[in-house]
Amino acid sequence: NAGVTQTPKFQVLKTGQSMTLQCAQDMNHEYMSWYRQDPGMGLRLIHYSVGAGITDQGEVPNGYNVSRSTTEDFPLRLLSAAPSQTSVYFCASSYGTSRDTQYFGPGTRLTVL
């Protein structure tokens, strides 16, 4: 198993540009989530999904969209990038509940100029 994969590893955007961060898992996990990690702020939940076709907002959803058309994929879209979205983004998946192990991807480092 590849586990949780994320692409790209690094990305530089200009303010106002849009892009999609890709996340895929091959463990047949129902739950998937996106976090952003900023210095001193820990892991903040952006959006999560409890199954294909079901998504919900986390703590910091503004400026981000998600969709879950398949069990395997959970892309994160930035509609109009802002410097405040400069961060490291992690995708995670788990089997079924919040009491199952979260498997994290390697992260995407995004810089918005």
Partner 1 sequence: GENVEQHPSTLSVQEGDSAVIKCTYSDSASNYFPWYKQELGKGPQLIIDIRSNVGEKKDQRIAVTLNKTAKHFSLHITETQPEDSAVYFCAASKGGSYIPTFGRGTSLIVHP
Rounded Cα gap, residues 33 and 44, in angstroms: 10
Least distance in angstroms from the C-beta of 106 to partner 1 = 5
φ and ψ at 94, to 5 degrees? -145, 165
Rounded Cα gap, residues 39 and 21, in angstroms: 21
Least distance in angstroms from the C-beta of 35 to partner 1 = 8
Closer by beta carbon to partner 1, 41 or else 79: 41
Closest to 72 in 3D by CA, of 31, 25, 7: 25
Interface residue list for partner 1 (CB under 8 A): 4, 31, 33, 40-43, 45, 48, 50, 56, 58, 90, 92, 97-99, 101-102, 104-107
Closer by beta carbon to partner 1, 70 or else 101: 101
